[in-house]
Amino acid sequence: MDNHFDIQAKEWDNDPSKIERAKVFADQISGFIKQNNNLRALEFGCGTGALSFQLKDFFKAITLADSSQGMIDVLNAKIKQTGITNFFPLKIDEDNNIDTIGNFDVIYTSMTMHHVLDIEEVITKFNSILTPKGYLCIADLEKEDGSFHDQHPNFIGHNGFHREELTTILNRCGFVVEYYNVCFAVKKELKEYPVFMMICRKKDL
């Protein structure tokens, strides 16, 4: 998976639909979470940082984590070019070693979780690094027929998610779902793939 994204990294931002969906996801997050200038955020699977660039003024500090060195390299170049000072890129390994990087008030992830094999393990790690009543925001594909990755025969992951099944996993991992909205559609050839935004809150101890 990393090699695929390393190869695509330099051209990633040339697709206007990726920027469009980043704006939609950012509006969903900033529209639900009450702004607080002290909030610290983590973007998991940040790619070139399109979503975080939309939220750069919403959070005090954003750690942008990705396992693709190519994506991190492009992100670092964009940060240098724009002079942003509250972004902190982080290369993580394939084991998603995020449980060692500190604590955050908000974690958000865009079109990443369907690539994660053991989502329950990663969601448990999210819970462990969120502050009390912290937010987890997941934007990803609704359940699809497997055709989304037709052009990537080596894809191993999930063909999107059923709302109820993902909610059950989140509950089991210590979250309460507070918001769900199908807010975007990825267009591929003649087909559209609905994408949801789910916002959860860490349960009280």
Q: What is the CA radius of gyration of the chain?
A: 16
The CATH number of the domain where 132 resides is what?
3.40.50.150
* Domain total of the chain: 1
**Residue-by-residue pLDDT tens, the chain, 205 positions:** 446 665 565 665 668 899 999 999 999 999 999 989 899 999 999 999 999 999 999 999 999 999 989 999 999 999 999 999 999 999 998 777 888 889 999 999 999 999 999 999 999 999 999 999 999 999 999 999 999 998 887 888 999 999 999 999 999 999 999 999 999 999 988 899 999 999 999 998 6
Distance from C-alpha of 138 to C-alpha of 154, rounded to nearest angstrom: 24
Q: What is the span of the domain harbouring residue 42?
A: 2-202
